[in-house]
Amino acid sequence: MRISNQVFTLALAVALSWAPALPAAAQQTATAVFAGGCFWCVESDFDKVQGVTATVSGYIGGEAATATYDTVTRDKTTGHYEAVEVTYDPTVTSYDKLLTVFWHSVDPFDAEGQFCDKGPSYRTGIFTASPDETAAAEASKEAVKAELGRTPATAIVEGKTFYRAEDYHQDFYINNAAHYTSYRFFCGRDARLREIWGDKALLGTKDNPAS
């Protein structure tokens, strides 16, 4: 039996209308964790990077099985750092570029904290998830030493459990802009960054050029 072109075309259209839609290609993502003092500021700095899709404030690096703002930052009993988990698209930016952002947004020589914030929770750290990340972090630290002539105090540590901070800390620089801007200014963060990095400093009011 021969089927006319019109009948065949109609049958094909009906069949296609019932075919399941193919899923869109999943966006590639990777994560990196950095501690750079106050996690409000670290979130703000990394959110400006092209290719970063999300930032989450939290705690990492301690031995205790739980971590909260009270135990980590106020009581300083758990040994955790305030840190930010950065989710990014590796087809747009790279781990090496994120390392560059990190170094230019911190004081790498302060072993006691960052800017006006002192104590173990405010130390700088790079928390790596693979041997490749560790090697890249170590190489970047050596590059900072060569450039500035001093050994950074920043720790490079194999990543441990990352604990998400309380909701009111997330996007604090957006949701509490006046408080955040005042805090950042009076803590002297940008002034110290200019002193260390000059034009390379990644400031609170400056768009981050990394991409």
pTM of the model: 0.84
Burial readout 64-78 (b: 16 or more C-beta within 10 A, e: otherwise): eeebbbebbbeeeeb
Whole-number average pLDDT of the chain: 88
What tens digit of pLDDT does each residue of 29-79 get? 999 999 999 999 999 999 999 999 999 999 999 988 899 999 999 998 899
Write down the domain spans for the chain. Answer: 26-200
**pLDDT value of position 4:** 52
Given the candidates 1.20.1090.10, 3.30.1060.10, 3.50.50.60, 3.40.640.10, the CATH classification of the domain at 26-200 is 3.30.1060.10
**pLDDT value of position 207:** 53
Is 38 a known active-site residue? yes
Mean pLDDT to the nearest integer, 104-108: 98
**pLDDT value of position 63:** 86
Provide, rounded to the nearest whole percent, the portion of the chain with pLDDT above 70: 84
Provide, rounded to the nearest whole percent, the portion of the chain with pLDDT above 90: 78
What tens digit of pLDDT does each residue of 158-211 get? 988 999 999 999 999 999 999 999 999 999 999 999 999 999 999 986 555 443
- Residue among 139, 186, 145 at smallest CA distance from 41: 186
Catalytic residue among 38, 41, 116, 187: 38
Predicted confidence band at 26 (pLDDT cuts at 50, 70, 90)? low
Residue 109 above 70 pLDDT?
yes
**pLDDT value of position 160:** 86
